Amino acid sequence: MIEDDAAARLTAVRAEIARAAALAGRKADDVTLIAVSKTQDAGAIAPLIAAGQRVFGENRVQEAEAKWPALKEAAAGIELHLVGQLQSNKADAAVALFDAIHSVDRTSLIGALGRAMDKADRRPDCFIQVNIGDEPQKGGCAIADLPSLLDEARAAELPVAGLMAVPPHGVDAAPYFALLAKIARDAGLERLSMGMSDDFATAVTLGATHVRVGTALFGARA
């Protein structure tokens, strides 16, 4: 049954987080599991909610706006995180819907989010996304630009919680996770959004406070 599959996957992912946390002398409770439900419909998401999962991630504002208001009615305590790239013209909608935004990566977006938060009087946690592998096609700011972006984000009264990154595909992610952790430490930032289905345990051993897991919870995306 789909309910049993979802519950079993959730149990397995939670166990792996706990094992990795213990290995690093950390508490499993210090790691937030974000169930990345992009492309999944309500029928796939509901069993995870029933199994106790409350924190979910989406990568598109419009898709989240279509799916989540109804799902949020069905259960208390749902927390939504935006993990995908955000266009400035969707800042108002993102601020209204999400509890955290993981993809803050440029001056224009910081300005748009600051204005949207002022208008809505609502301040979702923000993660600055760093292009940790210096890949031209990827979102995230250059490592060298982080200090000035942090200054801008604070001036705009964005609540900056930490850093987020997506390491290059197909190579060992550990050195990139370690680098992101070092950059966050140097900047005095506590939270680290890193690790996906293939590498979340490694990310936890290297300090992730938020892991973004889709496939390992929902199965492969269509």
Residues lying near ligand PLP in the complex (CB under 6 A): 36, 38, 59, 83-84, 166, 196-197, 212-216
Strand 55-58 vs strand 32-36: parallel, antiparallel, or unpaired? parallel
Tokens encoding 26:
């950390």
At which residue do the structure tokens 């930490």 appear?
162
Nearest-approach distance from CB 76 to ligand PLP, in angstroms: 25
Q: What angle do CA 109, 171, 208 make, to 5 degrees?
A: 55
The residue (of 76 and 222) whose beta carbon lies closer to ligand PLP is 222
Distance CA 128, CA 113 (A): 12
Distance CA 19, CA 205 (A): 9
H/E/C letters for each residue in 59-91? CCHHHHHHHHHHHHHHCCCCEEEECCCCCHHHH
Nearest-approach distance from CB 147 to ligand PLP, in angstroms: 23
The residue (of 44 and 115) whose beta carbon lies closer to ligand PLP is 44
Nearest-approach distance from CB 134 to ligand PLP, in angstroms: 17
Distance CA 165, CA 23 (A): 23
CB closest to ligand PLP, residue no:
214
Nearest-approach distance from CB 73 to ligand PLP, in angstroms: 25
Nearest-approach distance from CB 103 to ligand PLP, in angstroms: 8
